[in-house]
Chains A and B, each alone.
Chain A
Amino acid sequence: MDGAPVSAEQPLVALRGIVKEFSGVRANDGVDFELRAGEVHALLGENGAGKTTLMNVLAGLARPDAGTVEIRGDDTAVRSPRAAIDRGIGMVHQHFRLVDRFTVAENVTLGWHAPKALLRRRPLEREIARLSELYRMPVQAGRPVWQLSVGEQQRVEILKNLYRGAQVLILDEPTAVLTPQESLALVDSLRRMAAEGRGIVFISHKLDEVMAVADRITVLRRGRNVATVATSDTTQGELARMMIGHDLPQAAAPDDRQAGAGVLRLDAVEADDDRGLPALRGVDLEVRAGEIVGLAGVAGNGQLALAEVVVGLRPLSGGRVLFEDRDVSGWSIARRIGAGIGYCPEDRLRHGVAPTLSIAENLIAKSYRRRPVSGRLLLDRRGARRAAAELAERFDIRGADLDAPVASLSGGNVQKVLLAREISADPRLLIAAQSTRGLDVHAAEATRRLLLEQRNAGRAVLLISEDLDELVRMSDRIAVIYEGRIMGTFPAHEADEEEIGLLMAGRRP
């Protein structure tokens, strides 16, 4: 793609025939991978394809059962993360390894220099400032990490690795936590690093992003190599086929039925966030029966607060929430659930399910008050089991031992548990927040199909997503939120990505 020189000489890193088993299952089954100096090399594959495992082997976090790791021609085994760092390998994990209470500078130096009597803060902060300037990754060296946004924390992780002299930088799904803008900035920074002769490994399962950032792409499927291709020689369609073995399934096209009566109406709604700052500043929004309203916006512009005021998790400081023409502003959460408001929260494992409880228990977590799950006095165990088993069957929650904790499921199946629970409660309104985030292609498509079915069944759906393509494909109408205000609402088929983009950035075209 654009410009970085790809050297044809000895590769920076060569992994050959890597085999890694976890209790009998081969995560990597003879994988080869080669990284050249100066390239951004994407590692593409569905969840569970073995991408992270392969990179953990390179970063010294996992020892291969077979195969060799060669770094600049030297095939000494990488025995520990420390050894990997010493040989110039740095990895930015999906879940950051930062100490919240320490400052950026302290995190960068943490565990690195043999501590002299005193930490010299000035030179360290100067060096951080230099790196941050050089790669256009703004951070404030003196601030504690807990005050930083996720995007900033990621920059700290990257700087930490650069500070330690990483010539090879591995990023595990770095954009999963970023806003579209931050993603663009990250890609720019990575290109700069590659241009200096570093090698960048970019783990992802998003096709468009891989096409945009990578020079070469290695596709893994079920622990094996499918192919390594130059980005300029391939297409998204081809990559998708390689990744999942067939073409992308199509979401049902929006049909042109008329939407029904208004189900949810927000009337000049105002609310504060957890810090007491205004999160919603006079939101007007309507969702009608049989339509999906997509809420577009950059993360942190009030989407979460909007969902929460409707569900009852966040108090209003002004305005009204009307559900089927009744003012529900003062209702308890339970009462709103009973009235028919369903909610699939964004943070599935924290707010959606109780990870340590069983799949069955999570499935009945909203229906436990009624028959058949509840008897007159006690829970009806058999009824609960049957109800849970029926849901697992109907929603195709695969390979599930209903008594196993939900935490043992994959992200896609956790989402199915959640959707199954919400949909089976027969809601009149379903709010789905970032429902496909972090899911692989299959699971995301299954989730979308379920949501479309809800619309077709005449339910009102409020879809909150940062994935614009998804919103355009799924929604009947799209509303754009910016700093707690609805900037505009229009039919999805009239949606113009540029116009939405401008509204999301707070500008009215």
Chain B
Amino acid sequence: MTSGVRRSLRATAVQITAVVVGLALGGLSLAAIGVSPYDGISSLLEAAFGSELALTQTALKAVPLALTGLAVAVCMRMRLWNIGAEGQFHAGAIGATWAALAFPTGSTLVLVPLMVVAAMAAGAAWALIAAVPRALWGVNEIITTLLLNYVAILGVAYLVTGPWRSAAGLNFPVTDVFGPGARLPALGGGLLHVGVLFPLVAAAVLLVLLQRSRWGFTVRMIGASPQAARVAGMSTARSVVGIMLIAGALAGVAGMVEVSMSFGRLRQGISPGYGYMAILIAALAGARILGTLAISFLFAGFVVGGFALQALGVPQSFVLLLQGLILFSALAGTALTRRPRMLGRPPGRRGPAHVAKEEPSTP
């Protein structure tokens, strides 16, 4: 895979440069509001990555981002825009909550797998609603997945204000607190729990599936050229449904982790927009699996570090600005590195066939 490796190294270099440039631009904007850029950026990074506690918090924050990020990234591999990770996340939260409320056992070993499965099924089912019309009639998935987000979020609102409202909740729109069996087992002595392994396991499975399996090959072929894949006898419809089911399941697990560990119950406002940040993350990662993990960790760090900035009088929304600047730097970097590649080709190889005539031939 020499040329493939070279390409992906180059892409990684562009992304790292983009992060540095984005941080530098962020520093400039800090200076503009009268905060020392050095203090600002260093306290941000310190709070995000500077200590064991910081790293732990960042890792935990990265879990929903990475899982939803993967949910968007796998779809991008097939030129599908899954804007619905947010909705699939909420559907997963509902599924997990249903399991936790329906089987209030104290046994983690029983309940947690049950919640995970229920969350995956619910998330996948939610994605399926958009996947089937897309596969059969070409209904634009951008619109359907986006709209289904609102339905899922309102679905959570309905459940916590209606049928699942806790009697002990002082009339707040929340469900009962889950039992002890609904919490993910801790990992090590601190705050870490097994949820941080979920994105890693998911990434490993996806890598094997996409790179090594027959089905993954069809997904990559369809992503690279739907027409050529069709001529080769590959079924786009089946792959669309398959990849969307996987995406929904991934985002659903993210919802499960959040209700299990961050809230311990279902309520409104369980996501600050993970599913939307996920689109940014997947785009920045160029839909690559490991890249998605790395960038979600970075973004999680910014979210965690953003709190520290408030101590310096910097609004929390600075984090959003920073994410925007990094995205712009990355887009600029991609655009700039793509250009010379089209002009200067390594000697001894011809250009793309359709411009072959503009290129010298080499015997």
Contacts and interface: CB of A to CB of B under 8 A. Distances in A.
Interface residues of A, number: 64
A350 B353 CA distance: 12
Contact of A366 (B3, B232, B347, B357): B232
B231 interface: yes
B2 interface: yes
Contacts of A381: 212
Given A23-B347, A333-B230, A378-B208, A409 B353 contact: yes
Contact of B231 (A56, A338, A343): A343
A411 interface: yes
Q: Which of A23, A350, A401, A411 has the most CB of B within 10 A?
A: A23
Interface in B310-363: 344-354, 356-363
Given A47-B356, A349-B353, 8 more contacts: A51-B357, A348-B353, A350-B225, A351-B230, A354-B224, A366-B233, A401-B2, A404-B349
Interface residues of B, number: 42
Interface in A276-315: 311, 313
B225 A353 contact: yes
A247 B363 CA distance: 18
A212 B38 CA distance: 74
Interface string B1-39: 111100000000000000000000000000000000000
A453 B359 CA distance: 32
Contacts of A95: 354
Interface string B200-239: 0000000010001110011011001101111111110000
B3 A404 contact: yes
Interface in A359-388: 361, 365-366, 368-369, 374, 377-379, 381
A408 interface: yes
Contacts of B208: 378
Contacts of A377: 213
Contacts, number: 146
Interface of A: 22-27, 46-53, 56, 94-95, 172-173, 222-223, 311, 313, 332-334, 336-338, 343, 345, 348-358, 361, 365-366, 368-369, 374, 377-379, 381, 399, 401, 403-405, 407-411, 413-414
A379 B228 CA distance: 20
B220 to A, nearest CB: 7
Contacts of A223: 360
A405 B208 CA distance: 21
Identify the interface centre among B234, B349, B363: most chain A CB within 10 Å of its CB: B349
Identify the interface centre among B208, B354, B363: most chain A CB within 10 Å of its CB: B354
A103 B358 CA distance: 29
A49 B3 contact: no
A53 B360 contact: yes
20 contacts: A22-B359, A22-B360, A25-B359, A27-B358, A46-B361, A47-B356, A49-B361, A311-B231, A332-B235, A334-B233, A337-B232, A349-B353, A351-B227, A353-B228, A357-B221, A365-B232, A366-B233, A377-B213, A409-B353, A410-B361
Given A23-B344, A350-B228, A410-B350, A173 B221 contact: no
